[in-house]
Amino acid sequence: MVKLLVLGGDTPLGVAVLRMLNHQQRHQVQALSLADSAFKRERAAKKVIKRLQPDALLDLRLDAILSNRDHLHDIDIERTRWFGKACARNDIIYLFQSCAWVFSGAEASAPWREVDAPDGAGALSTMIQASERAVTAMTANALTLRLAPIYSSAGGTLLVKLLHRFSRGERIAMSDAQYFNPISADDGGRVIAGVLDQLSCGAQSRGVFHYGSNERSSYYEFGEAVFAAASQFMNVSSGGVVRSSDASQASGDWCLSSDRIFECFGIHQAPWRRMLAPAVQAFFQQQGANQ
């Protein structure tokens, strides 16, 4: 059994992780919301971690922050240093969620592996890279889990943004030259639960691990699938997806290889399309409940 502290338990991935772990009843779990994880001072962060004394700290802040704004602040990275330092001092495993945007998307390099050096040059990519470096600079007892883009029926994920726009009858232009291998939040929860099970059995694997679905998709293909699923719950006389004609959009591929996480933890890839319809249905059920 692992005594786990989750930072960002109210994020889409955090909700999925907690639901999975509570169902399995194999680990002892405590969670802080994204707001409660936003400590102003290192001392406060250190006191909370020392008081709760987890075996592992699961940090899900980064992706949720980036779904609500297009950049990180210095304090976001500084908090990562605080958490890493506290983990090192208290012999806690630091599980840090990162993402595929550390890479440039150069198509010749895809699917991206853990041995590939992060080469994204944009402001967002360099800030994410700085967050990853903050983890490794503070503690060697860490796993950086780079996940493919996550979709969920809640939060600020791409799925929710598309469904809101489709509900307004919008016709959305999406790139057919930018590829990724998205995952559902529930699949991400399954992966993290599997890693925790292996850690509880004494697995010593540390470092960087990638996980993405086994289905490659362009943004246009993803949008088409979302619209098709949404058509079961809304009027489709207007709206839809068209291929973007913006020639300034660069092509790219941010698909992640999941070979290492399978070799070290036995985590199998799952298809994203199979999990899309339940997520779309959950979105519209929630919309109906809020009306």
What's the order of all strands across the beta sheet hosting 217-218? 217-218, 178-180, 252-253
The pLDDT score that the predictor gives to residue 236 is: 74
Pure H helices in the chain: 12-24, 42-52, 61-68, 74-89, 123-138, 158-167, 185-200, 219-230, 259-265, 273-290
Q: What is the pLDDT of residue 69?
A: 63
The per-residue pLDDT for 182 is 98
Compute the C-alpha angle 84/85/91, nearest 5°: 85
- Region of 138 on the Ramachandran plot (φ > 0 left; ψ -120 to 50 alpha; else beta): alpha
pLDDT along the chain (291 residues), means of 10: 96 96 96 95 95 97 76 89 96 97 96 97 92 96 97 93 94 96 98 97 95 98 97 84 84 98 97 97 85 63
Pairing, β 150-151 against β 56-59: unpaired
The 10s digit of each residue's pLDDT in 240-251 is 999 998 877 889
Q: What is the pLDDT of residue 291?
A: 63
How confident is the model at residue 289, as a pLDDT? 66
Annotate 267-288 with b (16+ C-beta within 10 A) or e (fewer): bebbebeebbeebbeebbeeee
Question: Per-domain residue ranges for the chain?
Answer: 3-150+183-214+254-270
Assigned superfamily of 3-150+183-214+254-270: NAD(P)-binding Rossmann-like Domain (3.40.50.720)
User: Distance between CA 2 and CA 120 in Å, rounded?
Assistant: 35
Give the residue among 178, 159, 194 at the shortest CA–CA distance from 264. Answer: 194
Q: What is the pLDDT of residue 70?
A: 62
